[in-house]
Structure 1
Amino acid sequence: MATTVKQNGQITLPKAVRDHLGLTPGSQVDFRQTADGSVILLRKDHASQIDRFEKLRGHAGEGQNTDDIIASTRGEL
């Protein structure tokens, strides 16, 4: 689906997108940029649900690598 950006920066969301997100006149939306540079559109009241998981995303931190974990599981360490 595509839409055109008007001179003042406004766009019209395609009906399929509005229906999918359950947007009605007066609904608020939130735009988020992802790590790969894409932008996602969320219904504002659903954005807080995403936020609590977003902070858990990414690398678990320093620790054992895969080979160490496998060796430990086999009792080799």
Structure 2
Amino acid sequence: MTKLTNLTVKGQVTIPKDVRDALGLVANEPVEIAMLGPDAAVIRKPKFDREAEIERLVAEMRVTSSKFAHLREGRPTDDIMHDIRGDDPFPP
């Protein structure tokens, strides 16, 4: 299947609907562009490993959670704000 479309001044290309449907492309999801040579490229739906992505996100959440663990200690807000600011907002 060969389709013809135009390149906009911003470098954007509209992928025809029947091609998007055939590839299973969805708006706001990434597409992969692979160069085949100096004058050819292929647009395809990237292979997506959902389990690996979930594991990556969980690991990222654990890092963030541990970074802010001190905020879950049940301490008074003034103490936490003092730790964050590093100064005394109410000097004697």
TM-score (norm 1): 0.51
Mapped to 2, the partners of 1:40 and 1:4 lie a distance apart of: 16
Matched residues, number: 46
For structure 1, the residue ranges without an aligned partner over 5 or more in a row are: 47-77
Instruction: Report the alpha carbon displacement of residue 38 of structure 1 after superposing the two structures with TM.
Output: 2.1
Instruction: Report the alpha carbon displacement of residue 4 of structure 1 after superposing the two structures with TM.
Output: 0.7
Runs of 4+ in 1 over 4 A off after TM superposition: none
Mapped to 2, the partners of 1:5 and 1:23 lie a distance apart of: 19
The alpha-carbon distance between structure 1 residues 9 and 20, as it changes in their structure 2 partners (threshold 3 A), is same
Q: State the one-letter code of the partner of 1:2.
A: L
Which of the pair has more CA radius of gyration? 2
Identity over the aligned pairs, expressed in percent? Answer: 28
- Residue 34 of structure 1 aligns to a residue whose secondary structure is strand
TM-score (norm 2): 0.43
Q: Which residue of 1 aligns with 2:27?
A: 25
Instruction: Report the alpha carbon displacement of residue 35 of structure 1 after superposing the two structures with TM.
Output: 4.8
